[in-house]
Structure 1
Amino acid sequence: MSNTAAVVAGYIRAMGTRFVFAYPGDPVIELMEALRTLGIEVVLATREGTAVFMAEAHAMVTGLPGVCLSTLGPGSTAIVNGVAAATWDRVPMLAISGQIDPGREDFVTHQVVDHKLLFSPVAKWAGRIHPRSVDTVMRKALRLAVAERPGAVHLTGSAEAFAASAPDTAIALPPLDGGAGGIRVQMVPGGPDPAAVLRAARRPVLLAGAAATRCGATGALIRLAEGVGAPVVVSPMAKGVFPEDHPLFAGVLDMACNQVVWEFLAGSDLVVAAGFDPVELIRPWQLAVPVLHVDTTPNTDQIYPSGCELVGDVSASLDRLADGWRGGPRWTEREVAAHRDRLRTAYYAGRVAGRLNPTDVIDVVRAAAPPETVVTCDVGSHKLLVGQGWQTLRPRGVLMSNGLSAMGLGLPGAIAAQMTLGETPVVALIGDGGFAMAATELRLAATRGLRLAVVVFADSSLNRIELKQRALGYPSTATRLDDIDLVALAGSMGCDGVRVTSAAQLEKAMAGLAGLTRPLLIEARIDPSQYEAQF
C-alpha cells in the first residue's frame, strides 16, 4: 500500500504538472517528499501570498489547475487572497494547506483555523484529505476546479493523514477540459432562434470574454466575425482570443478609453456576448441593446436580459451561428477603422511632451518585445492602459487579475509564466505599489536564471485611489509611496537594474531583451499626468 501523500502527488503528476508553488510547514513534509519522488519540483516562494499567485499564473498559461501548498494557521490564512483571486478570475487552482491531526483539531487552539469556514466563501469547494477517501477527494477537487466556471478548490491535510497508508488504487484522472457539454438552445416561448436573431441585426457586435479563450474559440470568432462583417470587442482577460491586428478588432471593454468602447457598443443593434463573464465589468451594464447570450453557462447573472441563449461550448456555438448565417457583411472595415482611430486618439490623450508617459512605456516595450511575448500585468492605473494598448495576437498572451483585480500578481505571475513557458519571452508590467508587494521574489527569478524583464511604472503613488481623492477635493492620504532605489534593490537580488526617465533611455534598455542572461528590472520614472486625463 502507498501512503496518502503518494496518492495526492500521483494525481498532481497525472495532470502533467511540473511545479508546485509553496511555503511549507510541518504538516506537509510528507506530501513534499512524495512530490519530489515523482519528479515534481516544489518551488519555494518568499511567502505564501506570492506562491498562490504563481500557481494562478501557471494555470492561466496552461489552462490546467495550478497547485500551491501552505502550512496550517497563518500559512492557510495567507493564501486566502490568492484563492479568491483564482475563483473570481475563473482560473482553476488546487490549494492544499496543512492542519493538525483531526483528533486534536476540535480542542487545540494554537495555529488552528477552521479551513472549511475560511475557504468556503472564496473557493468552489473546501474539502479534506483522508486516507480512506483520498482518491475520490482528488478526483472531485480537480473536476470541480476546471468545471465551468473554473476556480479554486481548497483541501486540508494533516501530517497524520499524509503519512497514513491508503488503499492501492490506480490514478483515475477525471476530464480536465472544463466539460461545457453539448449546445443547448434556450429561449423565451415563441421567440426567434439564435440564427434568426443574428440575421435580423443590421449592426451586430461580438463581445468575447474569458470563456471564449477557455473553449479555444479563436477560429470560430474569426469565422463568424468575417462572415457577418461584425466588429469584435474583447474583455481584458480574453485579450488575444481575437487577434488585435485584425481589421475587425474594436478594442477592449472597461479599460482605458472605456467611454469610447461603450459608445461603440451602444451604437450597435445586437451584442453577441460570446463567453463574456460579468465578473470583469468595472462599470455597470447600461446598454439598451439586445443581447444574444452565448456561453458555457446559462445567463444566470442577468446583468443583461437575453431572451435567447446558446449554452455550451463557445466555439461550437459560434460555429453554429456561422453555419446559419445568410446575408452580406453588416459593417465595413473602414467603419471599424474609424472607430479604432477614435479609440487611439483617446488612448494618447494627456501625454506630456518631453516626459516619459505611461503610454510611452507600453509602446516602447511592445515594439522591442517579440510578437509571441507573454505579459503579466499588475493592478493599478497602468493596467487600464496596458489592457487597451498592448497589442496581443494570441490567447493567453496577457495575464492579469480582472475578476477579483488583486494587486501583487505581476511579478510572481511573470516568474511562474517564464518557468512554465521556457523559451517564450515574458515581460512584467507593474506599478510600484504592486511591485512592493512582491519585490523579494526577484531573488527567486535570479536564482533560477530567468531571462525575465520587469518594468515598473514608478510614480510613488497608489494612483487610482489618489486620483479619486483628488476628484473629491481631498488631500493625498495613505496613497503616496516612499521612493525606493529599485536599481540598487535589483543588484542586491542578483538582477540587473536600470533607471529610465525618457522613451529613448527605455528603448536602449529594451534593446538587450533578447540577450538577457538574468532578470532585468527597469525602473521607469513616469509622469503620471496622463492617468488623470484618461480616468
Structure 2
Amino acid sequence: MRHGGQILSDQLVKLGVRRVFSVPGESFLAALDGLYDSGIQNVVCRQEGGAAMMAEAHAKLTGQPGVCFVTRGPGATNASAGVHVAMQDSTPLVVFVGQIDSGHVDRDTFQEVDYKQMFGGLAKWVAQVNDTARLPEYIARAFRVALSGRPGPVVLALPENMLSAQADVPDFAGVWRTPAAPASYVWDHLLLRLSEARAPLMVVGGPHWSAQGATALGAFATAAQIPVATAFRRQDYIDNRHACFAGDLNVGVNPRLAKRVRDADCLLLVGTRFGDIETQGYTLVDPADPQKVILHVHADADEIGRVYGSDLGVVCPGDVAVLALQDALSRQGAWTGWPDATAAARADYDHWQTPVESPGAVKQEQVIRWLSDTLPDDAIVTNGAGNYAAWLHRYFAWKQYGTQLAPTSGSMGYGFPAAVAAALEHPDRTVVCLAGDGCFQMTCNELSTAVQHGAAPIVIVMNNGRYGTIRMHQERSYPGRVSGTVLANPDFAALARAYGGFGAVVTEQGQFADAFAQAQAAGTVAVIEVRLDPRVLSPGASLPE
C-alpha cells in the first residue's frame, strides 16, 4: 500500500522525470512527501508563474514534459501564465494543482476552483483525479497528451484527500510510440511539387526539433539550394552562419525577407504553424487567397489547413521530416535548386545585420554583437518580451540547436526563469538572460531560487526606465502623450547583491566586456544593469531630444 503522493512520485520516476519545479502548498503535502526520497530534484520557486515558466523552459531544453507543482486557487492562477506560454509555444508541460478535499466540492470552499473551467481554453487537457488507484493511469495519459501531435500543457487537479489516501496499484508500464516518417514516395512527391516552383521559401519552426534535425536541415538546404527562414523565436533551428539562412520572421522582420515571403510562389512549411507573427498579421499571405503553393509538414494533422489551405499536407514531426527530405533529395536526379535566390536571400540577411547606431553612451547593437562574437557556440541565450529583444533577434547569430529560449507567446518575465532552468540543466554551459527593466521585474524574485539551488546565469538588464514596447506603440498612436509607461526602477546591481549574487552597472560602452568577465568569474547568479539613453525605442527608432 502506498499513499497517493508516493504513487505519484514513483510514476514520475518511472517516466524519467529528474527535476520538478514547485511552490509548496498544504493542498499537496502528500505529493511533497512522495518527492522526499524519490531522487527527483524539487526546485522550490518564489512564485508559481516563475515555477511554470522554468518547467516550460526545461521541457524545451530536454524534449520531455516539464513538471510543475502548485497549490490551489491563487497558486494555480499564478501558474496560468506559464501554462499559456506552453500552449502558444507548443511545449509539453504537466502541471499538478493541489485541490480541496473532494468531499467539499461546490461549497465555495476556501480556494476552491473548477479547474476544468479555469484552464479549459489554456491547456490541451484538464482533469481531476478522484480515485487514488487511478493516479498512474491519469499521469501516464497526461504525459502522452502533452507530447502527442502538437505538444502542449496538461493540468491535473489532485484533491488532498485523494493524495493522502492509500491504494495498492502498480505503476503504469506502457511505452511511448516512436514517431515514424511517412513512406518515401510522399517525400518524393513533395519534392516534385517543390521543384516546380519559381521562387520558393522554406520556413521551419514549431516543436519537435533536435540537434540531429538542425544538422539535417543545413545539409538539405545546401543540397536543395533553397533559402530557409525560421519562425518567430526559433532561430536556433539552423546555424545562422549557414549560406542558405535568410533570417527569422519576427515582429521586427527584415523588410526584404517580408517581401520574399509575399513574393514566393511556393512555401515549404516544416513544423511551423505559420501564424500571425510570421505573416505580419496575415498581411504577407492572405488566408483567403494565398496566391502560392503551400506544402505543409506538421506533427498534428489538425494544424495542417487550419489557417492556410495546403496543396500538400504531410503529418510528421519537423526533425523527422528534414531527415526524410534529406534522404529523398539524394534519390533525385538532376536538381539545380535556386542558388541565385538563395544567395540573394543571404545577402539581404547580411545587410540587415549591419548595425544601426542607437543614441547614448551604451549601444544595444554593440552589446549584442559583442555577445554574438564572444559567447561560446553552445551558450544558451534567453529572453522574455519587450523592445530590447528586437536588438537580440536582429544582431545575435545562433550557432547550434538548443541555445535559444524565448516565448513565442510574447510573455514578459519569461527570460529569467528560463535562464535558471537552463543553468540547472546545463551547469557547464554559459547561460545569458537578456531582459528589459520591466520584463526582469516581473520575475526577479527568482534570484532567490537561483542562489538556493546553485544556478548561475548572467542577466543583462537593458534599463531605459519604461515599458519600451508599449511606449513605442503609444508614440505612434498618441505622440507626446505619455501615460502609464514610465518605470521607477531599483538599483538592479544592488538588488542582485542583496540576494547573494553579483551585480554591476554599465554606463559606458567600454565597461561592458569587463563587467561580463567579472560576472562570469563570480560563479553565482549575476546581474549586469546596462543604463540606456531613455530616448531609445527600437533599432532605427528613438525619441527626439
The TM-score, its normalising length taken from structure 2, stands at: 0.90
| Residue type at the aligned position of 1:292 | L
Preserved CA contact (<8 Å) 2:390 2:539: no
| Residue type at the aligned position of 1:395 | Y
| Residue type at the aligned position of 2:160 | A
Q: 2:500 aligns with which of 468, 471, 494?
A: 494
Q: How many Å separate the matches in 2 of 1:77 and 1:530?
A: 32
| Residue type at the aligned position of 2:295 | L
Preserved CA contact (<8 Å) 1:147 1:180: no
Q: How many Å separate the matches in 2 of 1:352 and 1:2?
A: 62
Preserved CA contact (<8 Å) 1:202 1:330: no
Which sections of structure 2, spanning at least 5 residues, go unmatched?
Answer: 286-290
The secondary structure found in structure 2 opposite 1:133 is helix
How far does the alpha carbon of each residue in 1:224-265 deviate from its partner, in whole angstroms, 9 at most, with x for none? 211211111111342222111111111111243332221123
Q: 2:313 aligns with which of 302, 309, 334?
A: 309
Counterpart in the other structure of 1:141: 142
User: Quick one: percent identity of the two aligned structures?
Assistant: 26
Matches within 5 A, 1:119-518: 119-129=119-129, 130-175=131-176, 180-183=179-182, 193-211=189-207, 213=209, 216-279=212-275, 281=277, 283-285=280-282, 286-287=284-285, 288-298=291-301, 299-318=303-322, 319-320=324-325, 321-332=328-339, 336-348=342-354, 350-352=356-358, 355-402=361-408, 404-474=409-479, 475-512=481-518, 514-518=520-524
Preserved CA contact (<8 Å) 1:408 1:435: yes
| Residue type at the aligned position of 1:378 | G
Cα shift at 1:95: 0.3
Preserved CA contact (<8 Å) 1:364 1:503: no
The secondary structure found in structure 2 opposite 1:96 is strand
Preserved CA contact (<8 Å) 1:20 1:41: yes
Counterpart in the other structure of 1:115: 115
Indicate the larger mover: 261-270 or 226-235.
Answer: 261-270
CA RMSD of aligned residues (A): 2.4
Cα shift at 1:280: 6.5
Preserved CA contact (<8 Å) 2:181 2:321: no
The secondary structure found in structure 2 opposite 1:42 is strand
The secondary structure found in structure 2 opposite 1:150 is coil
Preserved CA contact (<8 Å) 1:350 1:534: no
Cα shift at 1:517: 1.4
Q: How many Å separate the matches in 2 of 1:486 and 1:77?
A: 28
Cα shift at 1:347: 4.8
CA change 1:407–1:352 in 2 (3 A) is closer
The secondary structure found in structure 1 opposite 2:12 is helix
The TM-score, its normalising length taken from structure 1, stands at: 0.92
Preserved CA contact (<8 Å) 1:186 1:308: no
Cα shift at 1:483: 2.6
| Residue type at the aligned position of 1:111 | Q
How far does the alpha carbon of each residue in 1:376-416 deviate from its partner, in whole angstroms, 9 at most, with x for none? 111111223322322112222100111x2211111111001
How far does the alpha carbon of each residue in 1:460-504 deviate from its partner, in whole angstroms, 9 at most, with x for none? 111111111111134121111113211111111111111112332
Preserved CA contact (<8 Å) 2:205 2:234: yes
Preserved CA contact (<8 Å) 1:271 1:292: yes
Cα shift at 1:173: 4.8
Q: How many Å separate the matches in 2 of 1:354 and 1:151?
A: 42
Cα shift at 1:174: 3.8
